[in-house]
Every structure is written in C-alpha cells, then in structure tokens.
Amino acid sequence: MLSKKQVLFVLDEIEKMFPDAHCELRHSNPFELMIAVLLSAQCTDALVNKVTEKLFKKYKTPEDYLSVPLEELEQDIRSIGLYRNKAKNIQKLSYMLIHEYGGVIPKNRDELIKFPGVGRKTANVIVSVAFDVPAIAVDTHVERVSKRLGICRWKDSVLQVEETLMKKIPKERWSKAHHQLIFFGRYHCKAQSPQCEICPLLEICREGQKRMRRRGVVDAKK
DNA sequence: AACTCGGGGCA
DNA sequence: TGCCCAGAGTT
C-alpha cells in the first residue's frame, strides 16, 4: 500500500491536472444540495443538474415538496432513474425536516443518515460541501481510484477505504482530496478506459503498471 | 454479499 | 443494442 508521503504525491499531481476540482452539483443552499445529492445516486450529475434547474424553480422549501401529490413529484424527476424511490424519499425527508428538525438541516453525519435516501456517502458530501466539515465520501470513483493506485487494498470495504484515506491524508485536506479523487476518477482514470499512457501517476500506480505490462505482451505478439 | 430500483447517455 | 452511471435499502 502507498505510504502517507506517496498519497500526498498523488494529490499534488492531481492538483496539477484538476486545479479546480469541486462539487459539480447545482445548489444554492444546504437543502438544495441535500436534494441534489440524493438524486445523483446511480446517475450522472450532468443529468441531475438538468433536472434540478427546473425543479428548484418550482420547489423552494420542504413544504413545497409536500404540497403536490407524489405522482406529480415523480413526473418532475422522471428523467432520472430510480425516480419512484427518490420522489418518495424527498417527501418523507421533507416531512421529517419540518416536524422533527424545525426545518433546519443537521450538521452531523449521524443525524443526516437518519433521513431516507441519505446514506453514509450522501451524508459526507452534505456536511463537507454545505457546512465545510472535514469528510471523505467514498463513491465508486474514489473506491476504484484508491484501489487501482494502491492507496488501499483491493478487497477493502467502502468503510475501510474511507478509514485508510482519513489515516493517510491530513484532516484539513479531506474535503478537497475527496473532490480531487472524484475528478481524477471521472475524467482520467475512468472505469472502462483508464488513460495510463499519459498518466503522471503511472510510476507509483500498481494497477497501471500491471496494465502496461499486459499491453506490452499484446504488442509484442503483433 | 447479492439484489433491486431505472431512464438517459454513450460506444 | 448493451452496458454503465457522485447509492441506499432490503433480504
């Protein structure tokens, strides 16, 4: 596994590639962010942004989401997959927010996870982006990149990946590191086509070197 | 750990 | 056409 120093090298190299890594979900307050992150599950955020552009004009408050029939909210987010679950969760979440939290979104993970549709990953994004609380949300990109590079072990669970990242990265860099790993995973070290040939991290990347060796064998056969 | 929800985007 | 996408809840 990579040492702390090597992990910081990774982050510094990604900083050169993506100096403006940030949350790309459209939102102008914590409540909108909460809705947007919930909608983004198993879906590209470009699509989420397209939907929320209209959605946030129609619905401003938790009360707004409860003022329409479930079927109407479903139609408003229909172009996003899993829309029946998500519409139901948004209304339930809105009800809880009003009746149990006085309309104020809690700032700690343990409270946020109690909301339907909000898991550990979503909660981490909310606290880190909306409230500037240090956190590392492990999604598919962060997990894949961490395992390929050798920051953690291949068979690590999501929770183990998160713990390892927190251990190897200084707390003040957690939130930024999260977005850096996201950008690196989404735009460079893609699930289907990692661009190892032009990757500045190849020299310390376990999976990248393995891939290049495999490719060398293939090329030699030609 | 495996399964389900799911329309849109892309090869 | 087939496969995947800033996951979470249930079994």
Q: What is the pLDDT of residues A11-24, one digit of tens each?
A: 999 999 999 999 99
Distance CA A111, CA A166 (A): 21
CATH assignment, A30-130: 1.10.340.30
Looking at every residue in chain A, the average pLDDT score rounds to 93
Q: Tell me what percent of the residues of chain A surpass a pLDDT of 90.
A: 91
Give the pLDDT confidence of A30-59 residue by residue, as tens digits.
999 999 999 999 999 999 999 999 999 999
Average pLDDT over residues A154-170: 94
Is A43 annotated in a binding site? The answer is no
Give the per-residue pLDDT at A217.
Answer: 55
Protein-proximal positions, strand C, CB < 7 A: 4-9
A34 CA, C4 C1': separation in Å?
A: 24
Distance CA A74, CA A61 (A): 17
Helix ranges, chain A (H): 4-17, 30-39, 45-58, 62-66, 70-76, 83-101, 109-112, 120-130, 140-149, 158-168, 174-183, 206-221
Checking each nucleotide's C1' against the CA of A24, the nearest proves to be C6
Is the distance from CB of A131 to CB of A124 less than 8 angstroms? Answer: no
Distance CA A177, CA A50 (A): 26
CB of A79 nearer than 7 A to strand C: no
A139 assigned to active site: yes
Closest residue (CA to C1') to nucleotide C9 in the complex = A117
Reduced 3-state DSSP string for A106-150: CCCHHHHCCCCCCCHHHHHHHHHHHCCCCCCCCCHHHHHHHHHHC
Give the pLDDT confidence of A130-160 residue by residue, as tens digits.
999 999 999 999 999 999 999 999 999 999 9
CB of A200 nearer than 7 A to strand C: no
Average pLDDT over residues A114-138: 95
For chain A, residues classed under CATH 1.10.340.30 are 30-130
Checking each nucleotide's C1' against the CA of A83, the nearest proves to be B6
Tokens of residue A142, six digits: 């962060």
Average pLDDT over residues A113-122: 96
**CB contact burial A92-120 (16+ within 10 A = b; e otherwise):** ebbeebeeeeeeebbeebeebeebbbbeb
A114 assigned to active site: no
Q: Tell me which of A139, A147, A168, A176 is the catalytic residue.
A: A139
Tokens of residue A46, six digits: 């470009």
For chain A, residues classed under CATH 1.10.1670.10 are 4-20+137-221
Domain at A4-20+137-221: CATH architecture:
Orthogonal Bundle (1.10)
Give the per-residue pLDDT at A37.
Answer: 96
Is the distance from CB of A127 to CB of A133 less than 8 angstroms? Answer: yes
